[in-house]
A and B are shown apart, each in its own frame.
Chain A
Amino acid sequence: MTTVSMTVNGKAVSADVEDRTLLVDYIREHLRLTGTHVGCDTSQCGACVVHVDGKAMKACTMLAVTADGADVTTIEGVANGDLHPMQKAFNDNHGLQCGFCTPGMIMSGIDMVNRYKADGKTLDETAIRHELEGNICRCTGYHNIVKSIQQAAGEM
């Protein structure tokens, strides 16, 4: 067992975990923040994406101990009173159906908008589709997810 301490959604947390504990299991099972999902076992689907020190990470592909000392944001932590523009954009554009991939899509969407803005690059449809390579949705055909991220990119 190893003690891990980190900040999750602005709150300091600490726990003794088995060394093999994945970050996603720590978030879901220890912190009971169940908005971060697990959709595969090969780091393909992106349902588990969270932000670690401001960068999108697949929480299924990172040990909890690796995140020791990190600042972690999950889907539960992105709204600041009102919905985040990305959350609102998914509702406005019907960017979700079953909702299972949605937290990962929103976390990836926020990250890509932030990166493109920081680099002064334009996030057009082609770029969004390319950036979504690590997130799988089975319901929407991505059509409205692309529209959602486009809308949020204009508002963030």
Chain B
Amino acid sequence: MSEGIGAPVKRKEDKRFTTGKGKYTDDIRMENQAYAAFVRSPHAHAKVTNIDTSAAEAMDGVVAVLNGAELTGDGIGNIICGWAISSKDGSPMNMGAWSALATDTVRYTGDAVAVVIADSKAQARAAAEVVNVSYDVLPVAANIEAAIASGAPQIHENAPGNVIYDWEIGEKDATDAAIAGAAHVTEMDITNNRLAPNPMETRAAIATFDESDDHYTLYTTSQNPHVARLVLSAFYAVAPENKLRVIAPDVGGGFGSKIYIYPEEIVCLWASMKTKRSIKWTSDRSEAFLTDAHGRDHITKAKMGFDADGKIVGFKVSTKANFGAYMSLFSSAVPTYLYATLLSGTYNIPNIYCEVLAVYSNTNPVDAYRGAGRPEASYVVERMVETAAREMGKDPAELRRQNFVREFPHQTPVIMNYDSGDFEGNLDQAMAAADWNGFSARKAEAAARGKMRGIGMACYIEACGIAPSAAVGSLGAGVGLWESAEVRVNPVGTIEVLTGSHSHGQGHETTFAQVVAERFGVPLDSINIVHGDTDKVQFGMGTYGSRSGPVGLSAIVKACDKVEVKVRKIAAHLLECNEDELTIGDSQVKVEGTNKALGWHEVGLAAYTAHNLPADMEPGLKEGAFYDPENFTFPMGCFIAEVEVDPETGTTEIIKFVASDDFGVIINPMIVEGQVHGGIAQGIGQAMLEEVIYDDNGQQLSGSYMDYTMPRADDLPSFVVEHHNTRCTTNPLGIKGCGEAGAIGTPPAIINAITDAIGDNSLSMPATPSKVWALIQSSGAKIAAE
């Protein structure tokens, strides 16, 4: 069976994970290791008036108790947001100071004020309990509305009214005029619930300072170790890049939450220098709820106007986004360039305007979580279109069909330029797989059993493969979003591929090797993928935004191109032929139409022995490349959910869930389908189960798996996952990316199905049984078939 592009090859990395030999950060033990335990604020907003460490310092095993004044005194810099967004009036965003250990004010429960270093984890935790911090408690703004109310407590001095920015995109007057002239206008208030990402491996770090050459090593749970090193060096001033090695070994899931450098990693590095011990910290789950960046948390008002035929004429969106207590690394980009730019959906909409008010609150920082802005956009667009169809008495599939983008490239009014797609093809495929036309009979059958059956669809689109560096630079990004790769052919013909992408579940060790195996016609097992270590890989921007395929693999292809050039030159020289007469494959380089050939390994050996190379050729066979994408990629798809609601209890059962995606060229369909399954599960989690909840005092009420409902196996059905792919035209492999699609398209499909079942469009996420039951009661919804 082929091992190349398109083959469902079993994963190379599985053996170590299925046998317990994976190496995650907490599995690593350093000599002379001590443990960090953080002293965290129990208050959501308070002045720190005194920190008494005497009792803690007297306890057995305690090495040091360190605080924010010492940290800033040693020159450790504040944590920054790396994407500059300006308000409507041109003023820059109001970024408040975020010290890794709070100096005088705490702004959310979990804000760290001190750290205890001790010989054992138990000793560190026990000592942290007796660090006596005195607080003057301040008023709290625990949600968006409280934060922007008049008289709200000021969370950061430089953000008046707790506003970070008041941003806009699109043509306001034209959009207002289009909606004013519309034959039908649909208006909705839409909330996107706050989520906790919850990778199963919690964050962890082990920092070691080597006094002999002033060098630091950090093992940490990162999706992008080079970006971590960059910000730790350039902004947090822990150490210059050449004195800091960051290693992200096996990482147990990320979903965005492990993009960022958090206070704990900074403090571990700094404390390793202060104490001359390796410092280990592993978050427990409760601490993860209190400190990991959350996702989503939008409140939106939307208006969509249609002409008499049902064509969309204008779309106006006003969103308030909760940023939490501090601006996390990519936070500012999420509700702007990753959200509002996708508000055209899969539709040809001539006029779009969106304004976004970014707001501080006394809650965890909020940043990218699987999908990051695009799920919020998809949810707004697809709930609006569905509701509009119901209000106008139109078939929701036909209304979508009528408005689909059909010609490519397509320039939307909100920056994005869609390169390819066949949206109707995916709609048709999903409707056939869902047996859409047979639904009314199933609904009647369910009604006869006293159940309310509903069907709903969503046609999402997203922008992946982030991103063209110059374009994002012009929009405020502080970094370029290219990717790098190096392909090393060894003297025996085996190949190491070094990539700046990072795999934390995505299966790069298999899929990346498949691409190289096909390219050079060598066995999959002769290829190793190396990633996650700043001392091995020169640089990389990491894995997020479904970019490893479209951007990371493109860099590998570019490096392979360069290797091939050299291979051809060497082989042509040795075989005494022209380079263009050679074919590469089946582990050899052959002169076409003859029996003259060199084994692939012989070319490698020739390159390294250098006994007989073309004149002026350098020995060796390795090439590097940086690939900067020319455009975003645009995966899209149609998801259909069919649900059954029990009106007696409000419980919803998902009867069937169908996904038809367009991911462009697929390397490994087994892995791609796995990505879709996981995304759908997270989308169902958002739609029906998950929500981070704070009380008015800023106490998180959902801070454990006893309180925050993670999707379990018996909450979910098996999924029907299909593909109708069109090739991406802007990268060499034609890949669009698949990592986030499931989480983007699923929430609106599920809510459209449940609202169809209960006949009430006001349902909000998560659609818990109590919420659904209450709506059925209040609206007096009746089983339609009765």
Contact = CB atoms under 8 A, between A and B. Distances in A.
Contacts of B199: 98, 100, 138
Interface string B686-713: 0000000000000000001110001111
B704 A102 contact: no
Interface stretch (B7-15, B149-157, B439-447, B526-534): B7-15
B504 A98 contact: yes
A123 to B, nearest CB: 13
Contacts of A96: 14, 17-18
Interface in B383-419: none
Contacts of A91: 10-11, 14-15, 18
Interface stretch (B240-248, B595-603, B677-685, B775-783): B677-685
Nearest to A75: B20
B20 A39 contact: no
Contacts of B712: 132-133, 136, 142
Interface in B173-230: 198-202
A74 B17 CA distance: 13
B interface, over-half SS: loop
B714 interface: yes
Contacts of A38: 26, 284
Interface string A27-67: 01000111111111110110100000000000000000000
Contacts of A76: 19-21
Interface in A128-149: 128-130, 132-133, 135-146
B200 A142 contact: no
Interface string A92-134: 1010111111110010000000000000000001001110110
A97 B706 contact: no
B714 A39 contact: no
A interface, over-half SS: loop
A15 interface: no
A29 to B, nearest CB: 8
A12 interface: no
Given A98-B505, A99-B252, A140 B19 contact: no
B253 interface: yes
B714 A132 contact: yes
A100 B680 contact: no
Interface residues of A, number: 54
B284 A133 contact: no
A13 to B, nearest CB: 16
B674 A83 contact: no
Contact of A97 (B18, B198, B507): B507
A142 B713 contact: yes
A91 B250 CA distance: 17
A51 B506 CA distance: 29
B20 A98 contact: no
B745 to A, nearest CB: 14
B3 to A, nearest CB: 15
A35 B678 contact: no
B13 A99 contact: yes
B538 interface: no
B30 interface: no
A156 interface: no
In this complex, the member of A40, A87, A125 whose beta carbon has the largest number of chain B beta carbons within 10 angstroms is: A40
In this complex, the member of A20, A39, A40, A99 whose beta carbon has the largest number of chain B beta carbons within 10 angstroms is: A99
Contacts of B198: 138
Given A35-B21, A140-B677, A141-B677, A45 B714 contact: no
Interface string A1-41: 00000000000000000101000000010001111111111
Nearest to A101: B200
A94 B678 CA distance: 12
A92 B252 contact: no
B713 A44 contact: no
Contacts of A75: 18-20
Contacts of B727: none
B61 to A, nearest CB: 12
Contact of A94 (B201, B671, B681): B671
Contact of B505 (A99, A106, A125, A143): A99
Contact of A143 (B10, B18, B718): B718
A94 B674 contact: yes
A97 B505 contact: yes
Contacts of A145: 713
Nearest to A90: B18
Interface string B421-464: 00000000000000000000000000000000000000000000
16 contacts: A28-B27, A34-B23, A36-B20, A40-B284, A41-B284, A79-B19, A91-B18, A94-B11, A94-B673, A94-B674, A98-B201, A100-B199, A141-B711, A142-B712, A142-B716, A144-B677
Interface of A: 18, 20, 28, 32-42, 44-45, 47, 74-76, 79, 83, 87, 90-92, 94, 96-103, 106, 125, 128-130, 132-133, 135-146
Given A96-B14, A99-B17, 17 more contacts: A34-B27, A76-B19, A83-B18, A94-B11, A94-B674, A97-B678, A98-B252, A100-B22, A100-B199, A102-B17, A129-B713, A133-B712, A139-B505, A139-B674, A142-B677, A143-B674, A143-B719
